[in-house]
Amino acid sequence: MRTFVAVLALVGASAVPALGQQRCTHETFPVASQSVVVTVCTTATDGAKTVPVSETFKNASTSFNHATTIEVLPGASASRGIDDVSLTALGLPYTLHLTLAYREGAVAIEHALLLPGAVPLK
């Protein structure tokens, strides 16, 4: 019985991120014959009204960072935020229009459009 309880406690602890632990997701998008890797990260916060999101945009030759926040909606299964990020720092004359979704202590890119032209990437 003790072994079962110990295993159950370990499984439960691994399902919920520890406060302060950063969780990241990655997506790769084709932009002007290049691959642009977008990494979005957040730090798990308990009961916060807003969640900080750090983003890294990278192509073969350079990268840059961008920060935004998502307002957490109490009781919602997911909270969403919109972020428009210029890719000129990567030498690309485009903007990524991102819909970010925060749920269960993690953030992910839910939708992505390339502007101008409103080209759906995800």
Count CB-CB contacts under 10 A for residue 51. 21
pLDDT, tens digit, for every residue of 24-72? 999 999 999 999 999 999 987 777 799 999 999 999 999 999 999 999 9
Name the token pair of 65.
């960072």
Instruction: Report the pLDDT averaged over residues 18-23.
Output: 67
Residue at 59 is within a domain: yes
* Interatomic CA distance for residues 108 and 71, integer angstroms: 14
Predicted model pTM: 0.79
- The total number of structural domains in the chain stands at 1
The parent domain of residue 73 ranges over 18-120
